[in-house]
Amino acid sequence: MTESMVRQRTRAAGRPVVTTDDADVERRRARLAAGIRHAPVYLVLAVGSIVSLIPFLWMVIASTHPTSALFGTPLPVLPGGELLANLARLQAETNFSRVMANSLGLAVVYTVFSSMISVMAGYGLAKFRFRGRGVILGLILVTMMIPMQVLLVPLFQMMASLGWIDTYQAVIVPFLANAFGIFLMRQAFLDFPDALIESARIDGAREFRTFYRIVLPVARPQVAALVIYTFMTQWNAFIWPLLMLNTEDNYTVPVALNTMIGLSRVDYSGLMLGSLIATLPLLVLFLVFQRQFIAGLLGGAVKG
Amino acid sequence: MTASASPARLRAGSERRTRTLGNRLQRPGMVFVLPAVVLFGLFFTYPLLASLWQSLFASHGGITTFVGFDQYLRLFSDPLIGKSLLTAGILLVVQVPLMLALAVGLAYLLNQGWLRFRAGFRVLHFLPAVTTLVAYSVVFRVLLATDGGAVNQLIGLVGLGPVDWLNNETWARVALIASITWRWTGYNMVIILAGLQSIPAELYEAARIDGAGRWAIFTRIVIPQLRPVLLFTGITSTIGALQLFDENFILTGGGPSDATLTPVLYLYKVGFRQFDFGYASAIAWLLVVLTAIISIVQFRLSREKS
Model pLDDT for residues A254-303, shown as the tens digit of each residue: 999 999 988 878 888 899 999 999 999 999 989 888 888 888 777 655 44
Other beta carbons less than 10 A from residue A2's beta carbon: 6
Residues of B in contact with A132 (CB under 8 A): 30
The Cα A42–Cα B120 span in angstroms is 12
Mutate one of A119, A128, A183 to test the B interface: name it (highest B CB count within 10 A): A128
Give residue-wise pLDDT tens across range B253-277: 887 989 999 999 999 999 999 999 9
Stated pTM of the model: 0.85
Nearest Cα residue to B254 out of B237, B267, B236:
B267
Phi and psi at A203, nearest 5°, equal -70, -5
Mean pLDDT of A168-186: 92
The chain A residue lying nearest B294, using CA atoms, is A145
- Report whether pLDDT(B232) > 90: no
Judge: B126–A174 Cβ closer than 8 Å, yes or no. no
Judge: B27–A158 Cβ closer than 8 Å, yes or no. no
Task: Find residue B57's DSSP bridge partners.
Answer: B66
Judge: B132–A53 Cβ closer than 8 Å, yes or no. no
Phi and psi at B243, nearest 5°, equal -105, 15
Residues of A in contact with B46 (CB under 8 A): 154
Judge: B132–A294 Cβ closer than 8 Å, yes or no. no
Judge: A298–B187 Cβ closer than 8 Å, yes or no. yes
Give burial (CB, 10 Å; 0-12/13-18/19+) of B242: buried
Judge: B182–A132 Cβ closer than 8 Å, yes or no. no
- Report whether pLDDT(A215) > 60: yes
Cis bond before residue B35 (omega within 30° of 0):
no
Residues of B in contact with A201 (CB under 8 A): 21
Judge: B128–A125 Cβ closer than 8 Å, yes or no. no
The Cα A177–Cα A114 span in angstroms is 6
The Cα B172–Cα B165 span in angstroms is 5
The chain B residue lying nearest A243, using CA atoms, is B272
Judge: B143–A55 Cβ closer than 8 Å, yes or no. yes
Query: Which of B26-40, B79-93, B240-254 is least confident?
Result: B26-40
Q: Which amino acid is at B112?
A: Q
Residues of B in contact with A286 (CB under 8 A): 126-127, 130
Tell me which DSSP letter residue A212 carries. I
Helix (H) or strand (E) holding A60: helix A18-62
Q: How far is B102 from chain A (nearest CA, A)?
A: 10
Q: Kind of pairing, strands B63-66 and B57-60?
A: antiparallel
The chain A residue lying nearest B111, using CA atoms, is A41
DSSP-assigned states of every residue in B232-292: HHHHHHHHHHHT--HHHHHHTTT-STTTT--HHHHHHHHHHTS--HHHHHHHHHHHHHHHH
CB A221 within 8 A of CB A192: no
Give residue-wise pLDDT tens across range A86-131: 899 889 888 999 999 999 999 999 999 999 999 999 999 988 888 8
Q: In angstroms, what CA-CA distances link B303 with A18, B236, B252? A: 61, 17, 40
Mean pLDDT of B185-209: 89
The chain B residue lying nearest A129, using CA atoms, is B26
Q: How far is A143 from chain B (nearest CA, A)?
A: 8
Q: How far is B131 from chain A (nearest CA, A)?
A: 5
Judge: A151–B127 Cβ closer than 8 Å, yes or no. no
The confidence band for A19, taking pLDDT boundaries of 50, 70 and 90, is low
Task: Find residue B63's DSSP bridge partners.
Answer: B60
- Cβ contacts of B203 within 8 Å, gap of 6 or more: B221, B225
The pLDDT assigned to A275 comes to 93
- Cβ contacts of A130 within 8 Å, gap of 6 or more: A124, B26, B27, B29, B30, B33
Cis bond before residue B162 (omega within 30° of 0):
yes
- Report whether pLDDT(A213) > 90: no
- If you count residue pairs, one on A and one on B, with CB atoms under 8 Å apart, how many are there? 278
- Quick one: how far is CA B6 from the chain centroid? 29
